[in-house]
């Protein structure tokens, strides 16, 4: 098969992986190499689906011996198949990189022959790039759950980031749709990676020249809406994974129907906005001090699609508002709907010199309609007096749906609320 | 008054600013210019700054300020030097904490410029596309042509040196250029795009990748354009695919929807997971079906009939170039009319036209040709314009709604009036056109245009020919739409209305003459 044709099939098969990050790693170029990595990563292009193109994201092969029901590559699917040689992937990566099309490679694969064989093939590509091509750009390798610890160690030494996919929110979900996979095995692999990352970090701190193991850490991906698991359960799982294995990111990917899916799968995809709400909640838990139990309730185990999770939390907890922008501590400012971390820090900076008024908020480009009802400023703010009225939700929910559309585009990257 | 030239060079500005500060020359006394040859607005300017005897210690400013200033200096705004000197002055005259007050007008302005420059640098690191050129030495050499918004080549070159240390490369831009020979960065003058290499073999593989990593079921053009501004498209090899990808997308999505519907057919009974049918070549496409951007935006479950945002706003780029706007309008999906006609019909005419005519919407002919007022109504308009002595090519001519709406009658397409929802969805395009052209005379043809711009209860029948000052133009008038004239069955009435139409346009001609004379 011609290289172009393989590229078409194996890029198409990779487009369901939500991760596109090329950040979190710092490789300096010693002057003889090709490439370096930067702290924040660069998006080199965007496709008309609004997603960024940062890495050459492909599968080594889309043959797979497993039968995960939600996956187009499963053994029982009749999708066209292809397989790259490791040298072909290395060649494409190098040539694209030299032309500044990409930041590096994100390589995944269906499982061929065995877990370890597959893992070896992935490592071989990265090895070729690092040692034969002198490539110093970003490499993200998928780790196949259950791969032997030696292979994981080798993978971490050539890759910037590793990721093992948790796939579905609960073990019951896996039992139903991915019978060959188990949470226990996936987490065992995550734990191994977490251990190596931690150990290597300590080594590097002691002596700079110690080999780095996956300097951009590990991430995972969870498919949302393929089973009945609630947002509450999904966030519980994410929160537990963050804490147990120190993941850098959990990616949420809205399930979409695939050809000839079987009756265990829902016929309709979940609304994409659900994905967005999960990213926002994820962000609130990691950077805004929210507890995972504050975002959903027993009565409403799913996030609201109409408004962002911080706003719905605020509407459930009106007794905590309005908050005085000129006096409140940082933790409380972070709870105000419409105020992001950056603006909170700016407000703290400004109020050392002058008191905060409504037009200062406007200059910080904060969404006034949402914020007004929840804050006290130095000037008169009549909205804050109406916090207890029943129509509050109506008054603060943004009337222009397209704002959400813009926000949603960046949500996988920033999740900023 | 002093007139000082920086040559676009931050270090030079800093030296001059230091001397000015030492000489206690206050900001309003200095006019800062980028270049010597810029026309001076002042007479009696001293070109040489006074030499100061003050100690240099007096000009101590925070590091943070110098950092910020060196970035702001790369902004294209000619006023940046004045802003920089003003803030420098304030910092050293009793406001040492000025930079922390981010909502102060000057500081805010500095921050906004710094952000522009930062964004532009980031876009340069992202959008430079190298093309391989044959080099005599046998070594690979790569050349890129890029169009930054600001003067950022010097600032951004170290990034490329760090990343592509082992390569030989050159980056050309309209203002500056830089080359790396493996040891040193060499800076040079700007180079036009025509002198850059035009292709690279790898580009077609790159396009294959781009086309296949794109998911047709999740179209979000506005989101894409926000990050990948249309003005950069001409230097990115992958963007030439975008029109085709978009055109193909509905068909591919439809195919996916059809297939998954077949799949979900009730009564098909439980199938074993191995029941895949052969012949589904496009199987990979089926992964995410029937999710339109609209359902995304509103949070409605997918699979319902498509809904639209009912505003063109998200599809309008920042640009003030009519060409860019016209190009962008082709991808508008602001309302349901986007799928009906064969193409969008944008306004036409000079960007600095004195007169602007706004009609209702394109008709059958306009839709076929993609140009406004070329059908029967357009011919009538041309006729009367000529009669009263207005040159159409000097006017900007457009419509309130940019897409044709019709009902099919056999092979004919009968014009249908746009709904008020469609009119209001499309209004942002019209508003932007008016903002760009800023017509001194604005003529609404017919009630749709009049009501869009002059208010819901404006009645053309009662107020045609009235001259008003409006937010759109100091001289605004509404008159009959020429196609309405064509539709009046009664001959006597038609003749009378035509007379009124002619009289109104004669008034316009008179005003043009007046403005031209004065
Ligand atoms: S193992 Fe991975 S590639 Fe194979 S079927 Fe499961 S999800 Fe798909
Ligand atoms: S009619 Fe206007 S708003 Fe509607 S799709 Fe066409 S250009 Fe966009």
Q: Does A51 touch chain B (CB under 8 A)?
A: yes
Task: Give me the pLDDT at residue A107, please.
Answer: 96
> Which residues 6+ apart lie within 8 Å of A281 measured at CB?
A231, A235, A290, A295, A303, A309
pLDDT value of position B40: 55
Q: Count Cβ atoms below 10 Å from residue A241 Cβ, excluding itself.
A: 21
Residues from chain B that touch A260, judged by Cβ atoms under 8 A, are 263, 271, 275-277, 280
Residue A26, pLDDT score: 82
> Ligand 1: which of A68, A117, A163, A255 to mutate, judged by most atoms within 8 Å of the beta carbon?
A68
Do residues A414 and A342 make contact, with C-beta atoms less than 8 angstroms apart? no
**CA atoms B179, B185, B186, B187: torsion sign:** positive
CA angle A393–A395–A399, rounded 5-degree value: 100
- DSSP class of residue B216 equals G
Q: Say how many C-beta atoms besides its own lie within 10 A of residue B1's C-beta.
A: 12
Return the H-helix or E-strand segment holding B186: strand B185-189
Question: For residue A302, what are the contacts with CB-CB under 8 A and spacing of at least 6?
Answer: A230, A231, A232, A296
* H helix intervals, A82-182: 86-98, 115-127, 149-158, 171-177
Report pLDDT for A260.
Answer: 61
Whether A178 has a pLDDT exceeding 50, the answer reads yes
The C-alpha atoms of residue B364 and residue B370 are separated, in whole angstroms, by 10
Distance A361 CA to ligand 2 centre (A): 34
- Per-residue pLDDT at B385: 96
CA dist B98 and A319 (Å) reads 37
A344: Cβ–Cβ under 8 A, 6 or more apart, which residues?
Answer: A330, A333, A334
pLDDT of residue B344 exceeding 70: yes
A142 touches ligand 1 (CB under 6 Å)? no
Measured between CB atoms, does B257 come within 8 Å of chain A?
A: no
How far apart are the C-alpha atoms of B83 and B93, rounded to whole Å?
A: 15
Q: Do A269 and B290 lie within an 8 Å CB cutoff?
A: yes
| Predicted ipTM of the assembly | 0.88
Task: State pTM to two decimals.
Answer: 0.70
- Could you write out the DSSP letters of every residue in B263-311? HT-TTS----TT-PPTT-TTGGGGGS-S--HHHHHHTPPTTSPP---S-
Q: How far is the CA of A131 from the centre of ligand 1 (A)?
A: 29
Checking if the pLDDT of B472 tops 50, the result is yes
Closest CB to B126 among A32, A42, A257: A42
CB contact under 8 A, B236 and A67: no
Element of type H or E holding A59: strand A55-59
**Across residues A81-104, what is the average pLDDT?**
96
Pick left, alpha or beta for residue A338 (phi over 0 → left; psi -120 to 50 → alpha; otherwise beta).
left
Q: CB B222 to CB A98 under 8 A? A: no
Q: Rounded to the nearest 5°, which phi and psi values hold at A105? A: -120, 140
The confidence band for B265, taking pLDDT boundaries of 50, 70 and 90, is very low
Ligand 1, closest atom to CA A71?
8
Q: Which of B499 and A380 is assigned the larger pLDDT? A: B499
Q: Is B249 in Cβ contact with A269 (below 8 Å)?
A: no
DSSP A328-352: --HHHHTTSTT--HHHHHHHHHHTT
- CA torsion, points A72, A73, A75, A80, in degrees to nearest 10? 100
Percent of chain A topping pLDDT 90: 58
Report, as an integer, the average pLDDT of A384-391: 73
Beta bridge partners of B186: B179
Give the number of the ligand closest to the Cα of residue B326.
2
Q: How far is the CA of B333 from the centre of ligand 2 (A)?
A: 6
Q: Does B324 have pLDDT greater than 90? A: no
A328 vs chain B: nearest CA distance in angstroms? 19
Q: How confident is the model at residue A54 (pLDDT cuts 50, 70, 90)?
A: very high
- CA angle, B130 then B132 then B136, to 5°: 135
Q: How far is residue B251 from each of residues A232, B290, B329, measured CA to CA in Å? A: 37, 11, 21
Write the pLDDT tens digit of every residue in B82-118: 999 999 999 999 888 898 888 889 999 999 999 999 9
Q: Is A391 exposed, middle or buried (0-12, 13-18, 19+ CB in 10 A)?
A: exposed
In this structure, which long-range contacts are made by residues B13-20, counting pairs with CB atoms below 8 Å and at least 24 apart in sequence?
Answer: B13/B73, B13/B81, B13/B84, B14/B66, B14/B69, B16/B49, B17/B84, B17/B85, B17/B88, B18/B56, B18/B59, B19/B49, B19/B50, B19/B51, B19/B52, B20/B49, B20/B85
Cβ distance A273 to B218 under 8 Å?
Answer: no
Segment B197-225, tens digit of pLDDT:
888 989 999 999 999 988 777 777 887 88
Distance of CA B138 to the CA centre of its chain: 42
Distance CA B435, CA B429 (A): 10
Start-to-end C-alpha separation, chain A? 47
Residue A109 contacts B, CB cutoff 8 Å: no
Ranges of beta strands (E only) in B26-163 are 30-33, 131-133, 141-145
Of the partner residues A69, A72, A359, the one whose CB lies closest to the CB of residue B287:
A72
Residue with tokens 């029982």: A76
Cβ A314 vs Cβ A337: under 8 Å: yes
Proportion of chain B above pLDDT 70, given as a percent = 85
CA of A177: which chain B residue's CA is closest? Answer: B273
Q: Which of A36, A79, A100 sits opposite B128 (nearest CB)?
A: A100
Nearest CA in chain B to A93: B206
Interface size A-B, in CB pairs within 8 Å, comes to: 273
Picking from A30-39, A170-179, A285-294, A380-389, which range would have the lowest pLDDT averaged per residue?
Answer: A380-389
**Residues of chain B numbered 111-140 and touching chain A (CB < 8 Å):** 122, 125-132, 140
- Sign of the C-alpha dihedral computed for residues B50, B54, B57 and B59 taken in this order: negative
Closest CA to B181 of B220, B243, B139, B214: B139
Q: Which comes out higher in pLDDT, residue A409 or A212?
A: A212
| Average pLDDT of chain B, as a whole number | 83
The pLDDT of residue B325 is 86
- Of B285, B298, B218, B294, nearest to B258 by C-alpha is B285
Going by pLDDT thresholds of 50, 70 and 90, the confidence category of residue B427 is: very high
- Assess whether pLDDT exceeds 70 at residue A413: no
CB burial of B235-267 (b: ≥16 within 10 Å; e: otherwise) equals bbbbbebbeebbeebeebbebbbebbeebeeee
pLDDT of residue A383: 77
Is ligand 1 within 6 A of the CB of residue A94?
no
pLDDT band at A121 (very low <50, low <70, confident <90, very high): very high
The pLDDT score that the predictor gives to residue A70 is 85
Which residues from B are below 8 Å from A13, CB to CB? 284
User: DSSP secondary structure string, A264-286?
Assistant: TS-SSPPPHHHHHHHHHHHHHHH
* Spatial CA neighbour of A138 closest among A9, A227, A44, A239: A44
Verify whether the Cβ–Cβ distance A256 to B162 is below 8 Å: no
B166 close to A (CB below 8 A): yes
Angle at the Cα of B13 from the Cα atoms of B177 and B103, rounded to 5 degrees: 100
In the predicted model, what is the mean pLDDT of residues A261-273?
Answer: 77
For B334-468, where are the E strands, in sequence order? 355-359, 396-399, 406-409, 412-415, 441-445
Single out the residue of B477, B498, B464 nearest to residue B388, CA to CA: B498
Q: Can the peptide bond before residue A322 be classed as cis, meaning omega within 30 degrees of 0?
A: yes
Q: What is the mean pLDDT of residues B420-441?
A: 92
**pLDDT grade for A337, boundaries at 50, 70 and 90:** very high
pLDDT number for residue B514: 93
With 0-12 / 13-18 / 19 or more C-beta atoms within 10 angstroms meaning exposed / middle / buried, residue A308 is buried
What is the CA(B393)–ligand 2 centre distance, in A? 25
Q: How far is the CA of B454 from the centre of ligand 2 (A)?
A: 20
> Which DSSP letter does residue B430 get?
H
pLDDT at residue B318 tops 90? no
Query: Looking at beta carbons, which residues of chain A come within 8 Å of B128?
Result: 100
Per residue in A225-260, pLDDT (tens digit) is: 999 999 999 999 999 999 999 999 999 988 876 666
pLDDT class for B49, splitting at 50, 70, 90?
low
B126-181: pLDDT as tens digits: 999 999 998 777 778 999 999 999 999 999 999 999 999 999 999 999 999 999 99
Contact A186, A244 (CB under 8 A): no
Count of beta carbons in the 10 Å neighbourhood of residue A54: 25
Ligand 1 mean position, distance from CA A110 (Å): 6
Q: What percent of chain B has pLDDT over 90?
A: 48
Do A257 and B212 make contact, defined as CB atoms within 8 angstroms? no
Least confident of A10-24, A355-369, A380-394, B285-299: B285-299
Coil, strand or helix: which one is A249? strand
Could you tell me the distance, in angstroms and rounded to a whole number, from the CA of residue B401 to the centre of ligand 2?
7
């Amino acid at each position: 098969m011609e290289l172009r044709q393989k590229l078409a099939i194996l890029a198409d098969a990779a487009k369901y992986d939500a991760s596109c990050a090329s950040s979190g790693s710092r490789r300096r170029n010693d002057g003889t190499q090709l490439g370096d990595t930067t702290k924040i990563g660069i998006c080199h292009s965007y496709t008309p689906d609004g997603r960024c193109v940062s890495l050459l994201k492909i599968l080594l092969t889309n043959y797979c011996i497993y039968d995960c029901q939600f996956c187009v590559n499963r053994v029982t699917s009749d999708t066209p198949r292809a397989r790259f040689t490791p040298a072909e992937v290395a060649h494409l990566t190098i040539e694209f990189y030299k032309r500044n099309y990409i930041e590096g490679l994100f390589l995944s694969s269906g499982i061929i022959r065995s877990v370890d064989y597959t893992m070896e093939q992935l490592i071989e590509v990265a090895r070729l790039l690092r040692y034969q091509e002198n490539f110093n750009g970003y490499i993200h390798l998928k780790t196949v759950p259950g791969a032997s610890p030696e292979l994981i160690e080798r993978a971490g030494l050539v890759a910037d980031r590793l990721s093992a996919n948790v796939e579905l929110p609960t073990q019951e979900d896996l039992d139903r749709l991915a019978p060959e996979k188990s949470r226990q095995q996936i987490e065992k692999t995550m734990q191994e990676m977490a251990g190596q990352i931690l150990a290597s970090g300590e080594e590097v701190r002691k002596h700079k020249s110690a080999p780095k193991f996956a300097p951009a850490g590990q991430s995972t991906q969870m498919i949302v809406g393929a089973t009945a698991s609630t947002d509450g359960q999904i966030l519980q799982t994410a929160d537990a994974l963050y804490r147990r294995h120190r993941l850098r990111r959990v990616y949420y990917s809205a399930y979409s129907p695939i050809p000839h899916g079987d009756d265990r799968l829902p016929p309709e995809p979940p609304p994409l906005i659900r994905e967005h709400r999960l990213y926002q909640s994820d962000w609130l838990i990691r950077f805004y001090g929210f507890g995972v139990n504050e975002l959903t309730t027993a009565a409403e185990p799913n996030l609201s699609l109409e408004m962002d999770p911080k706003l719905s939390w605020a509407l459930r907890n009106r007794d905590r508002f309005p908050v005085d922008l000129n006096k409140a501590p940082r933790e409380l400012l972070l709870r105000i709907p419409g105020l992001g971390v950056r603006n909170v820090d700016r407000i703290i900076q400004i109020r050392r010199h002058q008191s905060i008024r409504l037009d200062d908020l406007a200059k910080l480009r904060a969404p006034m309609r949402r914020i007004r009802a929840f804050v006290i400023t130095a000037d008169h703010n009549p909205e804050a007096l109406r916090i207890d009225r029943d129509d509050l939700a109506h008054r603060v929910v943004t009337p222009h749906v397209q704002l959400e559309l813009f926000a949603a585009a960046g949500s996988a990257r920033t999740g900023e609320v | 008054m002093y007139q000082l030239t920086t040559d676009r060079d931050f270090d030079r500005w800093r030296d001059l600013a230091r001397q000015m500060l030492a000489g206690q020359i206050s900001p309003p006394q200095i006019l800062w210019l980028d270049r010597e040859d810029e026309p001076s607005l002042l007479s009696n300017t001293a070109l040489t700054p006074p030499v100061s005897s003050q100690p240099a210690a007096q000009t101590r400013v925070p590091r943070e300020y110098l950092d910020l200033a060196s970035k702001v200096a790369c902004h294209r705004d000619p006023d940046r030097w004045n802003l920089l000197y003003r803030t420098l002055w304030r910092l050293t005259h009793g406001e040492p904490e000025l930079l922390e007050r981010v909502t102060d007008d000057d500081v805010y302005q500095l921050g906004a410029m710094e952000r522009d420059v930062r964004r532009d640098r980031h876009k340069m690191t992202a959008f430079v596309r190298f093309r391989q050129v044959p080099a005599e030495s046998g070594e690979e050499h790569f050349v890129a042509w890029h169009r930054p918004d600001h003067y950022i080549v010097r600032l951004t070159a170290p990034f490329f040196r760090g990343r592509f240390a082992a390569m030989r490369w050159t980056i050309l831009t309209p203002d500056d250029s830089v080359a790396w020979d493996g040891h040193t960065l060499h800076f040079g003058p700007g180079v036009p795009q025509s002198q850059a290499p035009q292709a690279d073999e790898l580009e077609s593989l790159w396009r294959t990748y781009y086309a296949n990593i794109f998911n047709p079921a999740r179209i979000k053009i506005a989101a894409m354009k926000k990050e990948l501004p249309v003005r950069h498209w001409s230097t990115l090899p992958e963007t030439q695919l975008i029109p085709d990808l978009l055109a193909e997308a509905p068909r591919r999505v439809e195919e996916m929807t059809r297939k998954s519907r077949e799949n979900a057919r009730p009564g098909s009974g439980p199938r074993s997971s191995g029941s895949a049918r052969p012949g589904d070549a496009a199987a990979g496409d089926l992964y995410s079906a029937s999710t339109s951007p609209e359902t995304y935006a509103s949070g409605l479950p997918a699979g319902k009939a498509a809904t639209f945002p009912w505003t063109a706003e998200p599809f309008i780029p920042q640009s003030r170039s009519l060409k860019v706007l016209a190009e962008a309008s082709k991808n508008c999906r602001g309302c349901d009319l986007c799928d009906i006609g064969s193409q969008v019909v944008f306004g036409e005419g000079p960007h600095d036209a004195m007169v602007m005519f706004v009609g209702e919407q394109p008709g059958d002919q306009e839709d076929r040709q993609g140009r406004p007022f070329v059908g029967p109504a357009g011919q009538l308009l041309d006729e009367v314009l000529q009669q009263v002595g207005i040159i159409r090519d000097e006017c900007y001519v457009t419509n309130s709604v940019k897409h044709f709406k019709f009902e099919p009658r056999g092979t004919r397409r009968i014009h249908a009036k746009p709904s008020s929802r469609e009119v209001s969805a499309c209004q942002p395009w019209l508003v932007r056109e008016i903002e760009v052209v800023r017509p001194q005379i604005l003529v609404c043809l017919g009630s749709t245009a009049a009501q869009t711009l002059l208010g819901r209860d404006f009645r053309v029948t009662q107020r045609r020919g009235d001259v008003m000052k409006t937010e759109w133009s100091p001289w605004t008038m509404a008159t009959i739409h020429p196609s309405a004239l064509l539709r009046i069955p009664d001959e006597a009435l038609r003749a009378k209305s035509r007379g009124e139409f002619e009289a109104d346009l004669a008034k316009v001609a008179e005003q043009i003459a007046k403005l031209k004379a004065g």
